Amino acid sequence: MSAMIETPRAQEARRHRVGHRVGHRIGHIAPVSGNAKDGRRPKLRQLAAACAMTACAWHSAHAADVPPIAQQQSSAASTPSADDTGATLPNILVVGDTQHLPQSFDQRYASTQVLTREDLDRLSPADPSITQALATLPGVTVAQSGGPGTLASVSIRGSSPEQVAVFIDGIRIGSATTGTPEWADLPTEAFDRVEVISGPAAASFGADAVGGVVQLFTRRASNQPNRTTVSFGGGSNKTFDTRLSTSGTVPSSGPLAALGGLTYSLGLHDYNTAGIDATKPWAYGHEDGRNPYHAQDVNGRLGYAHDNWSISTFALYHQSDLSYDNAGGNDRQRDHQLTTGAAFHLDITPFTQFDQSVGYATDRQFVYSNDPTIPTDEFDSTRFSTSTSITHQETGHTLLGQPLSGETRLAYDFSRELAFLPVDVPGGLPARNDSAVSLHQSATLGDVTLFLAGRHEIVQGQSVNTGNAALSWAITPIYTARVSYGNAFRLPTFNDLYYPGYANPNLQPERSDTVEAALDANTSFGTFTAAVYDTRVHDLITYDSQTFLPVNIGRAHIQGLDLSYKGTLGKSTPVSLAVGILNPQDVTDQTWLNRRPRQTVSLSVDHAWDEFHLHALSTGVSLLYGGSTYDDQFNTLYLPSYTTVSLRASYQVNAHLVLSASLSNLFNRQYMTTYGYNTLGRTAFGKLTYTF
């Protein structure tokens, strides 16, 4: 295995995927840190120009692979603004820039957790990646190989990282070679909203949605005058963070009257840190010194609505430079990631809608060294996708004296994946086509809702069928019970299929079956959810220790319980609590699946000090607990449990200026989520935000 030429993140991703199947040594730990070497930093204005050119050319567009089956969102999530309600359809949440995206996968169908922009601002994570916010949700665990910018993996309900499907504004992202996205390239600052759908969702979202789905929605404009915000921050580890964002609506009068009603949003973000020494002194490839990390992001969006139709386009571009540990080899990595797209929506009638979207996502990685004798390697992954759908709602009917309503959605999705590897692959560049037809039907009779979804997918000539069924009952206006079943699959990665000497072109998809029962409570002081689930996975792709070739022989059985609460106590004390209890078993070897803590707890409490007439002051505390687990298949590398406590405060000086500060890992707890790698210790950060 060590002969494979992969990026440090790809090496670690492969190790994570097969860790519960193949024993590994410390020498297999992916290098993630090292002494900084001087290098040229691309300028932010160059990023802005690249983003603007991409958006204006509409090189590709917004792929809504996710079907808008959802009813209006439960009170656990934020509701659309008053400006949006005029365009809101019965089962689709419409955002301010008029783009019709399935932002709310109805909680009557599946367990869905939401983080709004306010939640993300309040959490104030020390690491800029969105993973730190995801770790606060029930059933979500994050393993990180060092400080900011280093490889991270996300698991939902005991799934492997490759069994989680990730979308940005409806566009599927992730490397075709490793099967996972570059989480470090997904900055919290770029997103307005995060939704995590727990459980199988392949019938709605396609391949790899075994453990669940993460939907990320970029910042967008509302129907309001121009609003510009600039922030400057700095803190521990020589960290500096700068952000500029502007959004608004072009007025219908004045010199730009011809563009009246056009909404726009643009954001620039620069993050620079000296980092930490990511690896332990005894870890393979360790080099003394910190891991410098520099990241820059540009995101932009345009939207326009006219009568019964709307159109929108967006782009998110990220580039970063990371130094990592790999003594004697490549020890720098530079990433370039672009996700862009466009969508068109038409209200054919008040109850029938047509949607068309296209999207493009690409991820380019370069691993190199300042030593000219060590060659530079490049890894590229590209995905083009398109989706066409028609949706129809029926209301105003009665059956057995009860009101009857429903929704039907028919969709066709197509995607094409391409990859470039720094080795000769027989047959040329790896490529894969995926086309699917799906049908979704929901029907509500009185207090009972039935949801059915089926999807027929053809991947490189191979057929895969998936389905979901859910039945919910509104017992009272407060309590709703739900039972559901779903199956899902994960496609083999291009590494599994094509990498010379280590591939098996005859691999079949991994498959899963899940049953779930849940109870939701929507009270005056918050929302509660309790869900118990049972997942069986078969045909797991594992590596034969004799041939080092991947084969379909593994089986896993995962049982768990998710508990969550989100609400406000009193008038000014927001509270969120998430508890995950997991029993992740490798049935083949009778061991625990690696890097799946059996208990996780996240608690966040904030308070605005109105009782002391300090209306502008708010403070908060967060607690994060991760239970013990193992880092390898044979359960020999033990990862102890840990608890971290973080504090935060913000003060609104006036209508324009806000000062904020945070202290993460208050007690400087030293712990590992990946064996051989350090995590951030006590970290202080302060920020000034000014809005024009």
Q: Which two tokens stand for residue 511?
A: 């498959």
pLDDT of res. 426? 65
Q: What is the pLDDT of residues 259-317, one digit of tens each?
A: 778 899 999 999 999 999 999 999 888 889 999 999 999 999 999 988 899 999 999 99
Q: Is the pLDDT of residue 616 over 80?
A: yes
Residue 73 has pLDDT above 70, yes or no: no
pLDDT at 427: 66
Over range 512-527, report the average pLDDT: 95
SS (H, E, C) 208-240: CCCCEEEEEEECCCCCCCCEEEEEEEEECCCEE
Provide the 3-class DSSP secondary structure of residue 600.
Answer: strand
CATH tag for 8-593+601-606 (out of 3.90.226.10, 3.40.50.300, 2.40.170.20, 3.30.1490.100)? 2.40.170.20
Per-residue model confidence as pLDDT tens digits over 383-436 = 999 999 999 999 999 999 999 999 999 999 999 999 887 666 666 678 899 999
More confident residue, 17 or 222: 222
Burial class of residue 447 in the structure, from the number of CB atoms within 10 Å of its CB (0-12 exposed, 13-18 middle, 19+ buried): middle
Mean pLDDT of 45-74: 36
| CB-based contacts of 194, cutoff 8 Å, min separation 6 | 114, 115, 120, 130, 133, 134, 214, 215, 216, 217
**pLDDT band of 469, cuts 50, 70, 90:** very high
Structure tokens belonging to residue 402: 């009860």
Question: Residue 232: which residues within 8 A CB-CB, separation 6 or more?
Answer: 241, 242, 687, 688
Beta strands in 285-426 (DSSP E): 293-306, 309-323, 332-349, 352-368, 377-399, 402-420
Q: φ and ψ at 404, to 5 degrees? A: -125, 130
pTM of the model: 0.84
Q: What is the pLDDT of residue 664?
A: 95
10 Å CB burial of residue 670 (0-12, 13-18, 19+) is: exposed
Q: What are phi and psi of 144, to 5 degrees?
A: -125, 140
All structural domains of the chain with their residue ranges:
8-593+601-606
> Exposed, middle or buried: residue 435 (CB in 10 Å: 0-12, 13-18, 19+)?
middle
Over residues 142-173, the pLDDT tens digits come to 999 999 999 999 999 999 999 999 999 999 99
Kindly tell me if the per-residue pLDDT of 9 is higher than 60: no
Residue with more model confidence, 441 or 422: 441
In this prediction, residue 59 carries a pLDDT of 33
Mean pLDDT of 344-358: 95
What average pLDDT score do residues 90-100 get?
Answer: 35
pLDDT beyond 80 at 254: no
pLDDT at 88: 32
| pLDDT at position 682 | 96
**CA 171 – CA 20 distance, rounded (Å):** 30
State residue 90's pLDDT score: 30
Task: Give the model's pLDDT for residue 452.
Answer: 96
Taking residues 559-574, report their average pLDDT: 94
Give the mean pLDDT of 512-526.
Answer: 95
- Residue 498 is predicted with a pLDDT of 84
Instruction: Report the share of the chain in percent with pLDDT over 90.
Output: 64
